[in-house]
Amino acid sequence: MLKRGVILLSGGLDSATTAAIARSEGYELYALTVDYGQRHRHELAAARRVAEAMGARRHVILAVDLRQLGGSALTDAIEVPKDRSTAEMRHGIPVTYVPARNTILLGLALGYAEVVGAADIFLGIDAIDYSGYPDCRPEFVAAFERLANLGTRAGVEGTTSFRIHAPLVSLTKGEIIRRGVELGVDYALTHSCYDPDGAGQSCGRCDACRLRLQGFADAGLEDPLAYRNRGGA
Query: pLDDT: is 209 or 133 the higher one?
Result: 209
Residue 65 has pLDDT above 60, yes or no: yes
What is the pLDDT, as a whole number, of residue 41? 84
Whether residue 232 has pLDDT greater than 60: no
pLDDT at 40 over 80: no
Task: Indicate the burial class of 96 (C-beta count within 10 angstroms; 0-12, 13-18, 19 or more).
Answer: buried
Which helix (H) or strand (E) is 23 found in, with range? Answer: helix 13-24
Q: Which of 199, 187, 227, 188 is nearest to 42 (CA)?
A: 199
> What is the average pLDDT across 148-174?
94
* Predicted pLDDT of residue 2: 81
With a cut of 60, say whether residue 233 has pLDDT above it: no
Q: What is the pLDDT of residues 86-114, one digit of tens each?
A: 888 888 889 999 999 999 999 999 999 99
Mean pLDDT of 154-169: 94
Coil, strand, or helix at residue 195?
coil
Q: Mention every residue, 6+ apart, whose C-beta is less than 8 A from residue 214.
A: 86, 129, 173, 174, 232, 233
Residue-level pLDDT at 130: 58
Gap between the Cα atoms of 3 and 37, Å rounded: 32
pLDDT at 23 over 90: yes
Q: Give percent of the chain above pLDDT 90.
A: 84
Q: 146 Cβ partners below 8 Å, 6+ apart?
A: none
For the domain covering 3-192, report its CATH number.
Answer: 3.40.50.620
Residue 231 pLDDT > 80: no
